[in-house]
Amino acid sequence: MAKQGTIYDPSVADGRFQLEELALRWLLIALYALLTLVGVVSVDPAWFAASEGFLVAYHLYYTWYIWHELTREPLPLASAYATPFLDTVAVTLGLIAVGHPLHPIYGVYFFIMVGVMFLYYPVARYYAFWLMVNYTGVGVGLQLRGLDVPAPDMGVAAIIMLLAMYNLTAYTGSERRLRRRISKAARTDPLTSLLNRRGLEEVLVQRLQRAREGEQNLALLMVDVDRFKRYNDHYGHLAADAMLEQLGQVLSTVVREPDLVGRYGGDEFVIIVPDVTLQDALRLAERLREQVARLGVCTISIGVCVSQGDTVSTDQLMDVADAALLAAKQAGRNCVKANAVDIQQVA
C-alpha cells in the first residue's frame, strides 16, 4: 500500500499493490489472450465470449480492489486513486458494451466514458489510449466471428484512437519535461541557482571517470567565505544570503566554460575544473580570490587539489581539497593553498 502523501503510480507501486500489478494482472491478461487466441483459431464464439467475460470479471474485481483501498485510506491518499478508479469503471463499461454489439446503446457507454476522461482527467489519457486499443481489438475479434460491427462506430473509434495516440505522445513528452525539471530542482541550490551538494557529487563522479578514461587531470577547488558567521551575525540572514548569491555569480563569471561551480553547503563552494595542471588550477584560484576581494564585501580562502592517478576516488579528492582549505585558513585566510600530500597516501 502506498504511504501517506504519496502519488499513486501503477508502474512504481509497492507492497501488495505491486504484486497485483506485476503478477496477478499479467497472469490474468495472459489467460485472457490465451482464451481469445483459442477462440480465433477454433472459430468458436463461445471461446471468444469466455475471454471477454473473463476480462470483464477481472476488471470488476479490480474495481472492488480499488474501492477497498479507498475505504481504508484517509482522504488525501484516496484522491490519488481517482484516476485508476475511473480507468476501471471506463474499461469495465466499455468491455461490457462492446461485448454486446447488437445492443442499441452499447456505443453510448463507450464514448461518454472516453469523453469524460479526455475532458476532465488529462492524466487518464494513457488509460483512454488503452481503452481505444482494447475496443479496436474487440471490434476486430467480432468481425472475425462474423458478427456485425457498425461501420460508423468503428470509424469514430479509429478517429478517437488517433487523438488518443496524439494526446498520449503529448502527455508522455510533458511528463519527461516534468521529470527533467524535478531532477534539475533536486540538483540545484535554490539560493544561488548553482549545483547543490548532490549535483556536485554526481558531476564529480562523472568528470573523474572521464578524466581517467582520457588520462587527464581533474582539479577540485574548495572555496570558503572568511568569517562568514561574523558577517551573518552582524548584518543578518538576508544580507548574508545576498552576499552568497553575489559570490556564486562572481565565481561562475571567472571560471572557464567547461568548469562547474556549485554550492556545497552553507558558505562553502566547490569548483570542478577538468584538464588542468596544478599551476593552472592555482592561477585560476588566485583570480577568483582577487575578483571576490575587489567586491569589498567579503574575502575567500581556497583549497586546491589536482587528481593524478587512476585509483583516486571522489572522497579522496574532497579530503585533500578540504585539507588544503584548512591550510589556507590557518595561514591567515584570504589566500590559496594546494595540499602537497600525495593523494594515494590518503586512501
DSSP per-residue letters across 71-104:
HHS-HHHHHTTHHHHHHHHHHHHHHHHHT-TTST
pLDDT of residue 60: 59
Whose cell is 500489478? That residue is 21
Mean per-residue pLDDT for 204-232? 91
Please report the sign of the dihedral spanned by the C-alpha atoms of residue 125, residue 126, residue 130, residue 132: positive
Distance linking the first and last C-alpha atoms of the chain: 44
Report the alpha-carbon distance of residue 286 to residue 289 in Å, rounded.
5
The answer to whether residue 207 scores a pLDDT higher than 80 is yes
Higher pLDDT, 341 or 49: 49
pLDDT mean across residues, the chain:
69
Paired sense of beta strands 300-307 and 336-338, if any:
parallel
Tell me, what's the pLDDT at 162? 55
